Structure 1
Amino acid sequence: MIKVALEGAEFFAYHGYYPEEQVIGTHFLVDVAVGFYADIDVEKDNLSNTVNYEVLYNIIEEEMQHTRKVIESVAQSILNRIKAEFTFIETAGVTIRKQRPPFRGPLKQSVITLSYQK
């Protein structure tokens, strides 16, 4: 199995349940990993034999721009688009880390992960 991943893609976005979160915004880190089987001929050195991680990044970037109340919804949208774009993938995972969520005490991040397996 081949794994293609992006780790720690940084975005400033306005996701959050509370109205002030959707006004002030915060920083997010996004990880995406996909797995697939392929007979890659390395001599051909061709993007059509793999998952283009630039396309992965563009999907993440576009979905992070759509404000939502819960980051699980953002992750599901990212996952749905990845599955539609790369129909041959066997596994996928999306992790979103919300930096410094608004709690009474110090907290580095809140984290959600969605996984897919064909």
Structure 2
Amino acid sequence: MGTIKIKNIRVYAYHGCLIEEGKIGSDYRVDLAVKANLSKSAKTDNLSDTVDYVLLNKIVKEEMAIRSQLLEEVAKRILDRILFEISLVKKAEVAVSKLNPPIGGNVAMVTIEMSKSRK
């Protein structure tokens, strides 16, 4: 078993409960980790034997482009799609952060973290 991590995927998106958030958008950061058996790809040196992090990045960007009120809903969609599309992944963990959230204070970011395992 091994882990593939993608850190600090930067995305501009339109999530949030406020009407203004849907109009002006905000900066987001997504961190992702997937667990998979990487022993075959370590031997074959073949991309088809591993989890393609280009595909992981694509999934994150596409799901972040779909407006949601809650970051939890976005994270769930990312996890569901990874496990649906990439059979090699046994577990996925995602952290979705809204940078400089409009919460009436000097806050760098707010983050939700979720994980999901294959049954």
TM > 0.5: yes
- Of 38-47 and 22-31, the range deviating more from structure 2: 38-47
1:8 & 1:41 partners in 2: Cα distance? 25
Confirm whether residue 6 of structure 1 aligns to residue 6 of structure 2.
yes
Distance 1:101 1:54, change over 3 A: same
CA distance in structure 1 between the aligned counterparts of 2:105 and 2:61, rounded to whole angstroms? 30
Aligned to 2:31: 31
Paired position in structure 2 for 1:95: 95
Per the alignment, do residues 105 and 43 of structure 1 end up closer, same or farther by CA in structure 2, a change over 3 Å counting? closer
* TM-score, normalised with respect to structure 2: 0.93
Structure 2: runs of 5+ lacking an equivalent? none
Provide the aligned C-alpha RMSD in A: 1.3
1:90 Cα offset (Å): 1.7
The corresponding residue for 1:80 is 80
Runs (4+) of structure 1 exceeding 3 A deviation are none
Structure 1, 51-60 or 79-88: larger mean CA deviation: 79-88
Deviation at 1:67, TM superposition (A): 0.7
SS at structure 1 position matched to 2:115: strand
The residue that corresponds to 1:112 in the other structure is: 112
Residue pair 2:41, 2:50 contacting (<8 A) in 1 also: no
Paired residue type of 2:5: A
Equivalent residue letter for 2:99:
Q
Question: Which structure features the higher share of helix residues?
Answer: 2
Structure 1 residue 16 corresponds to structure 2 residue 16: yes
The Cα of 1:85 is off from its aligned counterpart by 1.1
* CA deviation map 1:85-111 (0-9, x unaligned): 112322110100100111111111110
- Please list every run of 5 or more consecutive structure 1 residues that lacks an aligned counterpart in the other structure: none
**22-31 vs 42-51, greater mean Cα deviation:** 42-51
Q: In structure 1, what is the Cα distance between the partners aligned to 2:46 and 2:101?
A: 42
* TM-score between the two structures when normalised by the length of structure 1: 0.93
Could you say which residue in structure 1 is the equivalent of 2:54? 54
